[in-house]
Amino acid sequence: MRVTTDLQQRDVGGLRRWGMLAVGTFAQAASAVTVHGPAFLIPALHDRLGLTLAEAGLVAAAPMLGVMLTLVLWGLVVDRLGERFALLASLVGTTVAGAAATLTEGPVQLGGLLLLAGAAAAGTNAASGRVVVAWFPPDRRGLAMGIRQMAQPVGVGIAAITLAVVADQSGIPAALVLAPVVAAVAAVAVALVVLDPPRPARSATTAPNPYRQDGFLTRIHAVSTLLVVPQFVVWTFALVWLVQDRGWSPGAAGTAVAAAQVVGAFGRIAAGQLSDMVGSRLRPLRWVAVAASLTMAALGLTAWLDWGVAVLLMVVATAVTVADNGLAFTAVAERAGPFWSGRALGIQNTAQFLTAAAVPPVAGLLVPLWGFSSVFLLAAAFPLVAVALVPVDHERDLS
């Protein structure tokens, strides 16, 4: 059990609290660059290394596999050794593995090192979220977590803008430099700014297993898993749909998808702020699930009718289908408590990552058979099921 200093036992000032939020968000963005960035190297892996698209996709997916294998283990590290230690260990490990990846172009070695980088980067998921939940009061926690949840689209956006261009002009190793550099800077920032939040003394009575108390956490995990389906249907196929069905150029379609991601990032903040205002994480979560189902259904219908408004609905669907992430994440951390939330958040993220990995290939098989509009309509059914599972009646008072 860690030792808590006098400084950590006191509440920190507002400036330090927001500073830790900024650093935690930056650390999560660095993790996103490491985990999602290699997807933008697929063309270079195909052209420069002579890999098939399937082989290049496998190499690019290696960091995601590393994340899925270690999320729960990192949650245990957070629970046992604290948020600051986990963040530093994660970012240093990401830096070392990422730097090693820049020294090789062999596909097997590269894939293995990217897997290790993803395994290390997974530690920021639970640790940075826990810093936010622990240091912010309940009436500011939703907004703070919404800001922190912007890190993923920001990190993906940075990778999208830079990696493919650098790989094309200077080679794959040069493109891979970005991830360890950003992770190293984030590690320094964590060392300078982040403090472990105070915890009560550990005892058998203060840290019961929350999964044995009721089905609250299990239902939240199920809801989040169901809501991942429409999110990744839109993320994966919006650009292809615009190009193939709507006749857009790849450049115009890419710009529209990027703009939709920006809208989605701010949608996460809005959802978090709303949860603070109404004093509930789960009522807004249910509203988001309803909105996601309606929006995906409208997108599918208008795409089938070939109406121009379908493009606007794609942007709305991109924003709505990601708005639940911060709400569910915060609800899990608040219910699990300081000694179990690391593992609970690890389970939460693992379920989401597994579903996210399954959606593109399954939907990719259905699109040629049924068309984009039918797949969009099918995706609307998953948040509809989630509506009934949100445990609103079992939510505790946030105050």
pLDDT in tens, 42-58: 778 878 888 886 788 78
Q: CATH 1.20.1250.20 in the chain: give the residue spans.
A: 6-193, 210-394
Each residue's pLDDT tens digit, 15-44? 888 999 999 999 999 999 999 888 778 778
- Tell me the three-class secondary structure of 221-260, residue by residue: HHHHHHHHHHHHHHHHHHHHHHHHCCCCCHHHHHHHHHHH
Q: Looking at domain 210-394, which CATH architecture does it have?
A: Up-down Bundle (1.20)
- Percentage with pLDDT > 90 across the chain: 36
For residue 369, how many other CB atoms are within 10 A of its CB? 8
Q: Which fold has domain 6-193?
A: Growth Hormone; Chain: A; (1.20.1250)
Tens digits of residue pLDDT in 103-127: 987 899 999 999 999 999 999 987 8
| Distance, CA of 2 to CA of 369 (rounded, Å) | 56
State the CB neighbour count (10 A cutoff) for residue 121: 31
Q: What distance in Å separates the CA atoms of residue 234 and residue 190, rounded to the nearest whole number? A: 34
pLDDT of residue 205: 47
Residue position matching structure tokens 């989040």: 224
CA distance to 283, 297, 374, per residue, from 233 (Å): 24, 13, 12
Contacts of 286 (CB under 8 A, 6+ apart): 387, 390, 392
Segment 270-296 shows an average pLDDT of: 92
pLDDT of 250 over the 80 cut: no
pTM summary value? 0.75
